[in-house]
Structures are given as structure tokens and as C-alpha cells.
Amino acid sequence: MKKVTFTLIAIIMAVLFTEHVHSFVIGFSLAMIAVTIGYFIAYQAILKPQYTMSFLVFAVVSKLIITVVGIIGVFSSNIIHSPITFLIAYVSFSVLMTYLASTYRSLQRETKDNQQQEFLRTGLYKAI
């Protein structure tokens, strides 16, 4: 149901903002880049748990820097014509990308847990 809701919201927004397509696409692109890089850095904390707080702070700071630099660059070069469309596209697609990243991560975790459970069911190894 969530997937259908997000898809409908994205399609409705794309139809409503066809007049300001440049603002919409730039807001979407900036949100996608910022959230993807932020989550990529944050998920590195899983590989090195001793640096978890450092990775999380660095992820938040990098997302903020990418967003601020992108907004300053877009507004200084007069690429967009509708700041409201840009803002709505950025916020909605930021939420969408966050949902997709967390869903992907939880599916990965479930797959890994299922593989481990099947491996333990063979009887060759005991759970610690």
C-alpha cells in the first residue's frame, strides 16, 4: 500500500508541476543525490561499528552541505522559475528516497538472517 501511495503522489506531482518541470527535476535530483550520499556514508557504520557516531555525523553534515551548495548554485544561476515547486519536489522526494533506502536495508537484513537460519538448520554448526 505504501508503494502505491508513493507512486501515486509522485505521478500526481509530476502532472501538477509540468509547467515548472525544470524546478521539479532539479529538486528531485538534488534530493536524490543528497539522500543517497548521506545514507551511503551512514551505512558504512555497519562495517566499522567503532566509528558509528563519526559516520552518522559525517552523513548528516555531508547531506546538509550538498543541499546548501545545490540550492545556492541553483538560485544563483537562475535555473529554476518556481521556488515552491523546487521545495515541494525536494521535500517529497527526500522522504521517498529515505523510505526506499530504509526498506532496501531492511530487506537485505531479512535475507541475511534467513540465510543464516538455513545454514544453522543443516545441523553442522551450532548457534553461539
pLDDT score of 125 = 61
Q: Which residue has the cell 548528516?
A: 60
Read off the pLDDT of residues 29-51 as tens digits, 9 standing for 90 and up. Answer: 888 898 889 888 888 887 888 88
Rg of the chain on CA atoms, in Å: 19
- Taking the domains of the chain in order of start, what are their residue ranges? 2-121
Read off the pLDDT of residues 52-87 as tens digits, 9 standing for 90 and up. Answer: 889 889 999 999 999 899 989 988 988 887 888 888
pLDDT score of 44 = 82
* Dihedral angle sign, alpha carbons of residues 50, 54, 60, 66: negative
Percent of the chain with pLDDT over 70: 92
